[in-house]
A and B are shown apart, each in its own frame.
Chain A
Amino acid sequence: EDQVTQSPEALRLQEGESSSLNCSYTVSGLRGLFWYRQDPGKGPEFLFTLYSAGEEKEKERLKATLTKKESFLHITAPKPEDSATYLCAVQAGFGYGNKLVFGAGTILRVKS
């Protein structure tokens, strides 16, 4: 069964304190791994797609990396506005249709 596990469940950081969020997965045939950001009361917002081990993507203070078993979302010198829930999802299998599996998310709080 395809599974996505995110850790930690919650993370509190001081402004400027860099850290990483983890997304580990077990899937049959990874087609892609996706990171989303979700603010309270809103829908998820797409951040990154990673397709193969070794791939990296960056956006402002965020950097996503991918290995064969997990992905990391590195947050460098975070600001309070980076506070949100970060969701990881994987697309598994081949063929027709949507097989996107989401993790439960990591709630990030950045204090000034």
Chain B
Amino acid sequence: NAGVTQTPKFQVLKTGQSMTLQCAQDMNHEYMSWYRQDPGMGLRLIHYSVGAGITDQGEVPNGYNVSRSTTEDFPLRLLSAAPSQTSVYFCASSVNRDFGEQYFGPGTRLTVT
């Protein structure tokens, strides 16, 4: 099993551009999440999904959009990139409804200039 994969690993955007961060898992997990990690701060939840077709907002959802058409994929869209979105983004999946034991991807480092 590849686990949780994320692409790209690095990305530089200009302010106002849009892009999609890809996330896929091959463990048949129902629950998937997107986090951002900034220096000196804990991981913060952006959006999450409890199954195909079901998504909800986390702590910091503004400027991001998600959809979940299959169990395996959970892409994160940046609608109009801003410098405040410069961060490292992690996708995670969990078989447990309580999201306790999460499997994280390797991350995408995004810089918005």
Contacts and interface: CB of A to CB of B under 8 A. Distances in A.
Contacts of A4: 42
Contact of A42 (B35, B92, B101, B106): B106
Contacts of A34: 100-101
Interface stretch (B14-22, B44-52, B72-80): B44-52
Contacts of B35: 102
Contact of A43 (B31, B42, B45, B104): B104
A98 B42 contact: no
Please classify the interface of chain A as helix (H, G, I), strand (E, B), loop, or mixed, using the class held by over half of its residues: strand
Interface residues of B, number: 26
B105 A98 contact: no
A77 interface: no
B43 to A, nearest CB: 4
Given A32-B98, A43-B106, A97 B50 contact: yes
B100 A101 contact: no
A80 interface: no
Interface of B: 4, 31, 33, 35, 40-45, 48, 50, 56, 58, 90, 92, 98-107
29 contacts: A31-B98, A32-B98, A34-B101, A41-B106, A41-B107, A42-B106, A43-B92, A43-B104, A43-B106, A44-B90, A44-B102, A45-B104, A49-B100, A87-B42, A89-B42, A91-B98, A91-B100, A96-B50, A98-B31, A98-B99, A100-B33, A100-B99, A100-B102, A101-B42, A102-B42, A102-B43, A104-B40, A104-B42, A105-B42
